[in-house]
A and B are shown apart, each in its own frame.
Chain A
Amino acid sequence: MSATEAPKPAPAGAPSKAPATNRIGHTLQDYKGAASTLCAGCGHDSITSQIQRALFESGVNPYNVAKMSGIGCSSKTTAYFLSLSHGFNSVHGRAPAVATGSYLANRELLHICVSGDGDTASIGLGHFMHMMRRNVPMVYIIENNGVYGLTKGQFSATADKGSTHKKGFENEMMPIDACALAIEMGCDYVARSFSGDIKQLVPLLKGAMCHGGTSIVDVVSPCVTFNNHEGSTKSLKFARENEEPLQEIGFVPYYDEIKADYPEGTMKTIELTDGSKLTLKKLERDYDPSDKMRALDLLQKARDERLFLTGLLYHNPNSSKGIADQLNMVDVPLAHLPESVTVPSAAVLAEIMEEYK
């Protein structure tokens, strides 16, 4: 099933001016939430805006969305978009597991989970890994600033080796690369982006929403208050100066056709679960995102050489079974099953009792 709904024919006589509404009749305003309480300039806020845009432009039905998060500045942001959707700001690190339960109960919802690097790569690393291992359909966004913002700037496990703390000392430990782990765990849609790269982030998010399994979007999102200094590899300046996009990315919904015309061999098309497509225009590197070993290799190189590579890192064209199919679940959301289906008959109980007689 697609998270997005196909456009309805425009009502006769509808104004043809720039639409204030998307194809299911919602305005961008409908995709907004409460006012943000984050620091002015925080990378997380620009990601929130891109999430709103991606949802709005894709025509996602807000009533079909469940917003999940853990704890952290990043996790708070689920309150700042889609106030028409149910949201669950759970506990630190456990959002992947909470979201897994939610998905099992209602597989019709589009689950969007927003987490931080501390939430995902430290306290919740185990749940993160197991969510991917189970291939729980979900857009999982990591707002990655290399620090614990909400507890005032301690290093997180994604801080690069050699990156400096606000108090001057260096991180000497290996960073955890959530994208490398994701590929390793069999995740079929793995992307990295930068909160300031609107052009790239929006199509990557749209693509993630059309993917049938877990999709990981790790977004470097500068903490302007605690990790924006010289020496930080997650500062705005560092990200702006060092970002190296692997592709120029476009998104084409399943009901549209690819219009852009590129010279032979310069563009790849990725078909997503619901039939929508990502167009990847070649930049400097010749990169094939369906090559798992190549992706891991490149990420290792990026870690060693401190490259900030962004784009679609990995996509498996033969997507793996999602958890609902692994468990052979009925199509109807389990939460909606009537008692006539969930409570076996008295005759069955009598049969069971007979075995214990």
Chain B
Amino acid sequence: MSLQTDADSPTATATPLPSTAPIGNEADAIVNDVVIQVATSNGTGSQSANLVLMRTIFEMGVPVSGKNMFPSNIQGLPTWFTIRVNKDGWSARRRDADVFVAMNPESAAEDIAGMRPGSILILNEELQKFQNRDDIHVFVVPFNKLVIPVCPDGRLRRLVVNMMYVGVVAYLLHLDVEELKGAIARQFSKKPKAAELNSNAALAGYQWAAENLPKQYKFVVKRMDKTKGKVIIDGNSAAALGLMYGGITVFAWYPITPSSSLGEALIDYMARYRHDPETGKATYAIVQAEDELAAMAMVVGAGWDGARAATSTSGPGISLMAELTGLAYFTEIPAVIVDVQRVGPSTGLPTRTNQGDMLKAYLLSHGDCKHPLLIPGNVKECYEFGIEALNLAERLQTPIFLMTDLDMGMNLWMTDPFEAPTKPLDRGKVLTAEDLNRLGEFARYRDVDGDGIGYRTLPGTKHPNAAFFTQGAGHDDRAKRSEKPEDWQGNLDRLTHKFNHARTIMPKPVLNADEGATLAIIGFGTSDPAIEEARHILRTQHGVKSSYLRLRSLPASAEVIQYLKDNDKVYLVEQNRDAQVASILRMENPELGNRIVSVLHYCGLPLDAQSIVEQLEVHLGKRKS
């Protein structure tokens, strides 16, 4: 049985579909469930056009999400922007588009060949030679001619032409013209001239389509009220906001895709909101380091002094940060590392997404090292865990990894607005000079409270007992150098105890279960929307009910272990080749290891529901592998 989600069934016809007759009929229209994909070349400013299109649909009250698939290049290579419009709010990638806008000669032949039969192609007239399909609906538009009267300045035409396809798509999908105008005004709110030019271009495109193209009723966007109060934001901006609301004071970074926009967003927010109103001075320091070793070294140095310090990076940077992460682990210094994962190994695919750093981050550095990971499953959690990461780092006196990925970090997601924190920052266990007077004695690495976490003093504490010598070399509980076997082993055991304490205070998993579930799934991070959609497909098309535990942190808490105990078989969905999180769970729970069956996705594209469903179908005996 086919599990195709689109209600549209492929209809191959022998003759080209005429482009003058109406397409589809109003009664059978698919309303508010359409994927629009636009192929342009990067560096042509198509991003603004795509954002306007998204914004128009969003303002019509229809849930929408946007994914930019771009090359690792600055100008001239193919780039695809995909907008998923879905009344039920499904936001994962869908494999194929319903409406395809072909503007790029480089990719046109392949793009057109890959289109689903029955789908709609909006084709730049100059690319007609690439069109040889007779099973799709083709609308040819002379974009390059239409743009001339609209944009007298020849140099700007390459940019403005993009806004013309927005007008054409708006006409074909029955978008609200007023919302379209509003979206353009908003997009160019700081440049009135550009606003006018772009508005004219979009409207000219719309007008031309109205006069020259047949009506299209297969896919229709109609006003609804599902976006009221929502915001659209990318995960990197969200995480940057989290760091700001977590009271970050030192941020050191080295640019790398896909994490750079996090650093840049933070620079912007801090410049706006973190300067002393009287003196205008910054209540923070942001440093673009010379490399990721330095970035991490600065974070460790700042954390040692009691600053709330963080860095952000991606795979290659994580590799470089290994030694210093081990230093912070063993000297027990708070640090936050945001890892916006991209495809490795090596340079890999810098502009594609996966979850391939999970195991590396968990065990980063030589020797017995283990680090808590926070794993946001949506942009709101990027914000919340940004705050939480800084709290946990100081509470646990250890590096905390915030694991997102390119799909989360750089793509646009609809969400409820973020809320300001209601609880005070957790500054962890720090002794002041007064505390030292009261206590009389201080041993940096002594487990006084039974949670494995010692008390620290900060440099500059004016007390004769305050100082201690921080070193990555073996030390006793007073931080004195020691090579005694019992000191070494005792210290490592206490660190394990601290790690186990982390299990109890990290964010708990979220369990969503159908009543009478017969299928158990674990997933995390950006797999979430695809998993929920896959469950919906299984439920509605297969009658299979499922439960789903969304992991939000590692090390795994008791709830995760219990879930493994409660289910003989658990499908663990992750976006990497080596089943990295499954390996972590197996390593720590060998007796439960054979209950885990991996569902993997690692082609570099965001996970889609279909990929999960197909793999589960094989396991359920409904499909041959």
Contacts and interface: CB of A to CB of B under 8 A. Distances in A.
B302 A101 contact: yes
B276 A94 contact: no
A94 B293 contact: yes
B307 A335 contact: yes
A63 B465 CA distance: 10
Interface stretch (A43-51, A226-234, A294-302, A349-357): A349-357
B282 A352 contact: no
A341 B283 contact: yes
A130 B300 CA distance: 17
Contacts of B297: 90-91, 94, 97-98, 100-101, 127
B249 A334 contact: yes
Interface residues of B, number: 75
Nearest to B416: A353
Nearest to A82: B467
Nearest to A87: B469
A330 interface: yes
Given A89-B473, A342-B283, A356-B231, A335 B302 contact: yes
B396 to A, nearest CB: 18
A337 to B, nearest CB: 6
A105 B469 contact: no
Interface stretch (B174-182, B453-461, B487-495, B534-542): B453-461
Interface string A75-111: 0001100011111111100100111111111101100
Chain A interface size, as a band, is 35 or more
Contact of B250 (A63, A64, A85, A104): A104
Contact of A330 (B279, B303, B306): B279
Contacts of B244: 344
B282 A329 contact: yes
A327 B251 CA distance: 12
A109 B281 CA distance: 20
B424 A330 contact: no
A40 interface: no
A167 interface: no
A109 B14 CA distance: 80
Contacts of B331: 88
Interface of chain B, helix or strand or loop or mixed? loop
B395 interface: no
Interface in A313-355: 323-324, 327-331, 333-337, 339, 341-346, 348-350, 352-353
A90 B327 CA distance: 7
Contact of B284 (A102, A331, A334): A334
A330 B282 contact: yes
Contacts of A94: 293-294, 297, 323-324
Interface in A96-142: 97-106, 108-109, 126-127, 129-130, 134
28 contacts: A62-B467, A63-B462, A78-B469, A83-B469, A86-B459, A86-B470, A87-B469, A89-B469, A89-B470, A90-B297, A97-B289, A97-B290, A98-B301, A99-B301, A101-B250, A101-B252, A101-B302, A126-B294, A130-B290, A323-B285, A331-B281, A342-B247, A343-B425, A344-B244, A346-B419, A349-B420, A353-B231, A357-B230
Given A104-B287, A356-B237, 12 more contacts: A86-B469, A87-B468, A97-B298, A97-B301, A101-B299, A101-B300, A102-B305, A105-B304, A126-B291, A130-B289, A327-B286, A334-B307
Interface of A: 34, 62-64, 66, 68, 78-79, 83-91, 94, 97-106, 108-109, 126-127, 129-130, 134, 323-324, 327-331, 333-337, 339, 341-346, 348-350, 352-353, 356-357
